[in-house]
A and B are shown apart, each in its own frame.
Chain A
């Protein structure tokens, strides 16, 4: 242990190459991970923000807000039978004209009508008003601006900012249900919904005892398959493209981790070969293979931690430097920690490839005239 650390301190040159390569790999891992998180957040933030035990859709909708329709009777049934709190929810995706921008320079918005506030979003604002997602700042929107939403140019005034509430890559505009309904009716007459009809319902159990049954199951049990009730997690996975995006990215991340593993395996295998003579002497004076191998692992872990620290710092700086709205990069502590843990696991497994060589070193190699 001390021996291994002393070598790191006194012969840092030997470890520079591996550290640099690992740093680059760690940057790649964290950057790609952040990109995945950013992309996912851009398409799911609004759903993830929902403070709900279940989201209810109509059965043919495949959990798509735009295809779903919940009648007032359904809502009444749920409320009376289960005694839970419900809130209407609906969305429409449109382009919005921003004051001071050209007529073709539309901001992509998702206009939400809501009754129960998602986390991070205040209670519904007054008629014709909206809480806007801060990514709209990149489109030149400021608080107090009057946006003209959709081809029908329905005016909506921004009264404040919210965060991480994009949907389908479009910035959230959070309005009361009447405002949303009028935006929807004016711009998408084909999809207009009567008063009392929503696309989805937010269900909150509160402190109601449902007898150990999950909220989605309790809701679905009231109907004969006409509704689908999902947890927020499940609803996110149903958003088109989310699973595919995540799958693709996770494959790329997996390959990156394997590359890190190979780099560490090769590097430490090489070091072990170089150190055969040293290990022979150590074994001759009574060192166990275990002790020697532990030293190798300590070095791999330190190299990985140094690389991770530099990489973590680099992506955090990158995140600060990249203007919001340009690249959907979302650097979180969770993502960085996950990346470091993956790299550490790769480091230890990578070292394991040298274990056999360490075990094979013969203490007799310390003897005789050959070095």
Chain B
């Protein structure tokens, strides 16, 4: 368990910049913070040994550790409703499709203290106003949209709750059930409107809905359900109603956090905890699959009680990065109650200054998008198949036990919400407990069994061991600064698993290699998924896994375009940027048990590749390592001309067998037959690939996540480390590579 956790407000800072640290206690009474550079995070006794470096920077003495809760759950908040004068007659209405009914009370539309429509513990619709509670006989269903309303007429003293299930199966209009009581309600002046949640007596948000809501509206008169249905179906009609106080069209400003009121009152609001926008609404019947072409059909928001964008913890302290601190991966280490063993590491990158180059010619690309994609992932806990893929029992490290106890921390894009729909968003504005050194994982193979950040420290440790000066730049920096930043370097080294890329990042990297840059792709399954940032919500990333790819869920019909940008989600190979074109290889298979050596191919004899093999003997390389015992494994990529591998690319070495846990990716497995497995199919392999680019640049790709685990073998003294260094030395030499003439 983790007695203390924390996070910073940024994952990349430059010297002179200030970074905030948020700390939450989960048992700790006090803590002390220090500042360290992370050199090598793997604690495997067969590895090179854990190494960090204390930086002399005073972060203050003992501090009290304060309990800070996770408050997941998304909704829409509309403040300023009190601007409307006294409300006496009213109608509250919405169209709703719940996606999880599990005996919890849920709110659909609330004017706290005045009126509310919700779902009770028995899946029945409830309407609450003036101390009266109305309950429908009909139960709501996860299979249908429902038109719901609560209205009051002072003349007749009728408080009515109406529900109509739109079954869409007959030509009959949905027949509403109406429950009415006679009551004398006094007028009120609600202060806010909340959609998909309500407030408890302490003012905290509660009653979060799992489900989709479309076109909620609020009127100053009682409207009969039959009339309401037609009004709600037509925004142009709706906004002309003189009784309209507010109607929220979620299809407007969909890429932002803004929620727009189409009534003249302009009671605009915003989303809270990033629910999913650009979701098919009540009137979507497959007419269009791209929300940009028919936003009116994408007028629903999918809310989840498990959504999490910003943990919102108060700042414990801030630190200013010293002006002379060299770029690198650093951590604010939080030591609870003097227990060093229980220390928590808030990891971030100190990038080089924005306004001037550091002079370093080598950069390590700290893959924050891929770290975010996996942030707090629960694959070994939530997905039964993980144990089959690992070929071993799941290990639960302390941070996994913390995740099990605290699902409110929010998910990675590998999880599903409690309603079984995919998690499209992951945010860095919360603790990311698996982005720490020392931590073990599920997918890292027999041996060290580490993944993403901690696995990438094998590369940082190697750079340290060979005394290489380097800058650390992050995905976010590359996304923002593009080639302006990348052009400072001769060589860029990736991490072990740079899987998630925005379009900006893809184009910047392609521009870099095209114009003479040298890319060392030291990983597997890289440049695979399309992800997007949101210009209105810093720190959150979207991934919709459309059509293909090895993936834990599908986005659902009509949901293949990202809400943040309108980009088509899914694989880069379906979006004009196949990884093979950028780096020569592309994802072909995965297995998380054991890894293999590469067998050197005749193409390695080509004089173009001589510098790579300098001092390397033998025909099998990398028959050792900390990630499954070989250099080729975990996730492996193949060269493939049909997928864009340049014709002149040299496949220098190839893994020639894998266990039968390694199977074919779905995008290539068009007709499943039982021969597509590691012991049978040639296509399941890692291809060590090299090619020159037209602009004098070059690319070296390992096509294997396990590669870095071999670099770190035997104290970085081995042929894989040697080959990597051979490549780095030549790549760091500005002499242009000659593009081979065909």
Physical interaction between A and B: no
* Residues in A lying within 8 Å of B, measured CB to CB: none
Interface residues of B (CB under 8 A from A): none
